[in-house]
Amino acid sequence: MSKNTLLAPSNLPNHAPNFSAIKEEDFLPAVKEAIKEARANIDAVKAGAAAPNFDNTIIAMETSSETLDTITSIFYNQLYANGTDGLQALAMDIGPLCAELSSDVAMDPVLFERVKTVYDAKDSLDLNAEQDTLLTNSYKGFVRGGALLGDKEKEELRKINESMSKLGPEYTNNVNKSSEAFELVLDNEDDLSGLPQSAIDSAAFAAKEKGYEGKWLFTLDYPSYGPMITYSDKRELREKIWKAFSNRAWDEKHNNAKLIEQIVTLRDERAKLLGYKNHADYVLERRMAKSPDTVLDFLQKLQDSYKPAAEKELEELKAYAKTQDFDDELKPWDASYFSEKLKQERFKFSGEDLRPYFQMNKVLDGAFTHFSKLFNIRFTENKDYDVWHNDVVTYDVHDINDNSFIGTLYGDFFPRTGKKPGAWKTSYRDQGLYQGKVERPVIAIVCNFTKPTADKPSLLTHGEVSTLFHELGHAVHALLAEGEYRSLSGTNVLWDFVELPSQLQENWTYEKETLDLFAEHYETGEKIPAELIEKLVEAKNFMIGMFGLRQVSLGLVDMAWHNGVPQNASDIIAVEDEATKNCRLFERFGGPTSASFSHIFAGGYSAGYYSYKWAEVLDADAFEYFKEAGLYNQDVAAKYRQEVLSKGGSEDPDILYRRFRGRDADPDALLRRENLKAA
């Protein structure tokens, strides 16, 4: 029998995974073996003769499953970035095995008693802030994992955890398969009317790759969908692709309706078993917001600002459409189209005017320069790492001041079959203890940007540029971690704080000083004109009411599912419509958002989608600080790195933010930025 690569420490730089040596059939036996190892480590903790203390119990538990953690991080990251039917099938086996181990640990009375003994003595221990948080989290993790339940309730919780471990991957697979099943193949050049040349070229290239020679292929990948819904003069085509996008995982073959009901029911049952009112109550106990009422009040305040603005914007859009000889009722598939036309007329530019200045490689280099100017770090491509796809690039990150190694970064930028839509940062190993010593992190960002064609490089939209800065913000948060414990380092923070470091970075993509680092015409080398940047900034808040109201509505849908199971949970559309009745600008023409709302049903944001807007308040307030002091002010950047980025989840985020800013965040900072409230 050949040696299983997954069970041996990697000999690559920074112990990064050796992807080319890993076979799909390696995962299940490796997981089983790693679970054996973890159980042996846990049994050793339980059998320890010495009295429980921080080292022999809390740290021992923190490091007990590092082999399993490494293997499952590789598995799930590959499932979402490079998914195959084989990996999807394995998820149905691996999920329950890991859930069983997690339940066994969380419900073990001997382990809990040892942790409780240390926790009860906390005040007499000489712990630093990170150690104190680890101990508190360990104790609360046991309680929230069922340690205080009776045997019957524990068994019930085990079954719930096992079932839930299968549902998320199954939900994601339905979204992927449903999306990939749609193809809009055009063979008439007249049907391309209104589309920018970049979209036409990409569609021709995609068609050729799929064997549709001489035709144009449009898909539901956003770099393809976005231009079609925004620029196509052919209303029937906009309607067709909009409805396909809106009905993802709502078709006959790949339908998430039953999974949604199962997921929310199981989450609610788990919360009630553990003594909480519902899943939102359970989740928000460990968030900055603390309670569902706080979240709902927050969303209501935003709705009160966004809705009047959105209604005014919609009326403007309808009036504008009439000036364009549009006599029909405005439908959802018309909104982006006429919005873009109005934007071009009002601000005298199009988003496509920016694209030639945003060559992917130049933008990436410029983003690295930006982070270097802020935090004195250097990104160097290193081809000694192995990768999971030939599109992936790898970098070493060093501190410029002392040349110390900070960590490993992977970049996976383009769509492909089997890859989850959207963009995300992920971790193959967080900063912290690994094999007995503190090791540096192995981090990846995964995106679905506009692909290069046969004769053009990848040219990004400004939205994609912002997304790159966003995901690199997450990555740098993880890379600059200085903690000792993986469970508290980097982005392992309270969930409604995690978007601050990412969203903050988007602000720089509207600043001339930053854009001048990389924005130059891919053919002529001309720097992006100052007047074009001015137009970009002027248009920044265009239709902000409609966009903000959309975000609020998504937060309300999330809370509708998780602040108690709706009585009519089987009627997905009715639940959504009731939740968003005061946010809707159009009647319903497509399937429910919930069917493809992976963030809350398969991505960790359940009862937490509000956190994007919550963190926008923080990032708007934080960026005001940078603007006041200077975009690349070293004192402010150093304080932000030290007090926010390096600390991870080692202390309460309110404390960290207060240390950085010198005060709490101003709740009106976001509305000021959006010109919805006077300064």
Question: What sections of 82-234 are H helices per DSSP?
Answer: 85-106, 109-120, 129-144, 151-181, 197-209, 222-231
Contacts 24+ apart (CB under 8 A), 85-92: 86/24, 87/24, 87/27, 88/169, 88/173, 90/24, 90/27, 90/28, 91/166, 91/169, 91/170, 92/166, 92/169, 92/170
**H/E element, 534:** helix 530-538
> Rounded to whole angstroms, how far apart are CA atoms 409 and 377?
13
Catalytic residue, chosen from 269, 313, 464, 471, is: 471
Helix axis angle, 611-629 to 653-661, nearest 10°: 20
Positive or negative, the Cα torsion across 586, 588, 589, 595?
A: positive
Q: What HEC string does 374-443 produce?
A: HHCEEEEECCCCCCCCCCCEEEEEEECCCCCEEEEEEEECCCCCCCCCCCEEEEEECCEEECCEEECCEE
Amino acid at 175: V
How far is CA 275 from its chain centroid? 29
Active site residue 513: no
Count of beta carbons in the 10 Å neighbourhood of residue 201: 18
- Report helix angle 332-347 to 292-323, nearest 10: 70
Name, in order, each residue with C-beta under 8 angstroms of 78's C-beta and a sequence gap of 6 or more: 87, 388
**Which residue, 223, 313, 351, is CA-closest to 586?**
313
Position 196: which residue type?
P
First to last CA, the chain: 69
Could you give the 3-state DSSP secondary structure of residue 607?
coil
Give the containing element (helix H, strand E) for 656.
Answer: helix 653-661
CA distance 37 to 54: 21
DSSP 83-109: --HHHHHHHHHHHHHHHHHHHHHHT-H
SS3 250: strand
Judge residue 491's burial from the number of C-beta atoms within 10 Å of its C-beta, 0-12 exposed, 13-18 middle, 19 or more buried: buried
Q: Which two tokens stand for residue 21?
A: 């040596």
What's the CA gap between 520 and 516, in Å, rounded?
8
The one-letter amino acid at 665? A
User: Cα-Cα-Cα-Cα dihedral of 132, 133, 139, 145, to 10°?
Assistant: -170
Distance of CA 301 to the CA centre of its chain: 25
Cα–Cα distance measured from residue 192 to residue 112, given in angstroms and rounded to the nearest whole number: 64
Measured between alpha carbons, how far is 12 from 387 in angstroms, rounded to an integer?
Answer: 11
Cα atoms in the Cβ-side hemisphere of radius 13 Å centred on 183 = 15
The residues assigned a catalytic role are 471
